[in-house]
Chain A
Amino acid sequence: MISRNDYLQTVQSYIKNKETGGMIARELNSHIQQEKESLMNKGYSADEAEEEAVRRMGSAPETGRHFEDVYKEKIDGWLVFLLAALMGCGFLTALIFSGENGYSFNGKFFFTVVGILVAGALLFIDYRKLQPLGWLFYGLGLAGAMFLTWGPMSMTTLILGSVGIQVGPFHVTSIDFIPLLLIGLAAIGSKGPVKVWKGILLYLFPVYFFMEAADPNAAFIYTLLFTALFVHKQVNKKILWSLVSLGVIGAVSVGMWFFTAAAIYQKERLLSFFSPEKFSNGGGYMYLRMEEVIRDAAWIGEGAQAEPLPSGHTDFVFLSVLNQLGWGAALLLLILLSLVLGRLFWMSRKIKEPFGQLLVRGSLVFYAVPVFYHVLMSMGILPTASFPLPFLSYGMDATVLHAVLFGLVLSVYRKKHPASFAAQGKTMVQ
């Protein structure tokens, strides 16, 4: 006959995670206690009652093993597989792009390897350790965005129209600070309801700096991300409507400013989206080329018009694949991209712990926005803008940045059991 303590410790010894094991032991102990008391009421002595109560629990090793089976920390194999497939496809694009301007196979390889290493490292840390550092992450992200705008001109360069810094092999632009902001926002948001004025400030500061750095794409992504994190069902209807009306007023004023104060070339850019034929020598050229690609693409292999697109390895990766590898490859790509999206969505509903949930939701938006924009733009539904396709486009933003967030997501999934146990345990009276 084993003692109560031996029983509990044996069960715990089979459960790898100490927190989880502790919670389970608590529950089992409570049961043993009540059984003991009921036996004592029936006339057993204290010692006999305890021994019998423990005996009735059954085999400790078996119970411990079953619990470990339920709670072992799993890596989301599906997501890893899908991401590996996407990265693999990213290499396939090397088939198309060798020798093109700015594209280098070594570069692609380098970014991919860095991405995998970073994701791997993040996967194995406990994401919850980041939560108390929320304000630090937000501050770092904000400082980075600030530096791009106010930093010394000698250090910043204009990269593709927006401000960036060259740090070794990496072009750092506004968008690279968004993951930092995301971690910060998720940590802040998960601690409890955020006051509206604080929320507005948390939103406006980065957006201001992004716009000042001439990077509206980053501002756009940040806006949607912020909305997904903080605007949800529980938000006061009144506040929601005032925010929406603010947004509408903002959009209208931007529209008015645009038509009166914007430079000719900016107006042309927008107008050429609506009627590219009129601007076939300027902004409309790209739209016409895009239409050609879609019209002339084959099912497999090169389309009728195989001339590569400008910036084909970054901003127009999808069309390049369509152009040079055909509809078959393009559709396969779309399916892969959607599967990743679906998996992220599924996971965001499965994760109950608040910090983890916000991280997954934010990563979902950060991934989904470029994918949607890129594909819709490729089909001619949206005006051209630079939204690289995750893992497929060339460059640090497409590969390393997303690898960081996916690494975090995988870490959240791995720790979902101990995290939810711990969250439950906080409501217990000690």
Chain B
Amino acid sequence: MENRLRKLKQALNHTSFNTLTFDQEHRNQVMEKIAGQDTRPEQIRLSILQLLVQEETGYTLAGKIRSRGIKTFENDQGALYTTLHILEQKRCIQSEWKEDGQKFYQLTRKGRKLLKKYESSPDKPRVLRTLVEAGQI
């Protein structure tokens, strides 16, 4: 940077910007905001579909969603189950109670097609919108 601009920067740091600090608190808030960009309902549902390529129980799914950085369900795990049931009504996923007493979820053919469509679509938001539109139940 040019000398003159550097001097300007120094001067400003001593005057107007004196009280401005980028401390840990700020850092945390910025990181949360970045993380929060993925927590729109469509994105969450998409992540669920992606994770259900293999079959999972609600419990294991909750863990995997958290490891993806999605914190929406951290203190609201009931909502994960309502989302799963809604996706099941939309026939994107199907469920099955297994012999060990656990309920497993997995993608349906329709769900797989939707995922493929998303991955190959130039207009990704439009594909996502179908995941959250009402009706169809």
Interface residues of A (CB under 8 A from B): 11, 24, 27-28, 30-31, 34-35, 55-60, 62-63, 66-67, 70-71, 424-425, 427-429
Contacts and interface: CB of A to CB of B under 8 A. Distances in A.
B78 to A, nearest CB: 3
A156 B124 CA distance: 69
Interface stretch (B22-30, B44-52, B98-106, B111-119): B98-106
B76 A27 contact: no
Contact of B79 (A24, A35, A63): A63
Interface string B78-94: 11011001100100000
Closest 9 CB pairs of A and B: A63-B78, A58-B76, A66-B82, A428-B97, A34-B59, A58-B78, A57-B78, A57-B77, A31-B59
B52 to A, nearest CB: 16
Nearest to B97: A428
Chain B at the A interface: SS class? mixed
A24 B85 CA distance: 10
Interface string B52-77: 00000111001000000000001111
Nearest to A425: B97
A56 B74 contact: yes
Given A27-B58, A57-B78, A60-B78, 14 more contacts: A28-B78, A30-B103, A31-B58, A35-B59, A56-B77, A58-B76, A67-B82, A67-B85, A70-B86, A70-B89, A424-B97, A428-B97, A429-B99, A429-B100
A417 to B, nearest CB: 8
Contacts of B78: 11, 28, 57-60, 62-63
Contact of A31 (B81, B96, B100): B81
Interface residues of B, number: 24
Nearest to A53: B77
Nearest to A429: B99
Contacts of A30: 57-59, 101-103
Q: Which of B76, B79, B82, B96 has the most CB of A within 10 A?
A: B82
Nearest to B74: A56
A230 B78 CA distance: 42
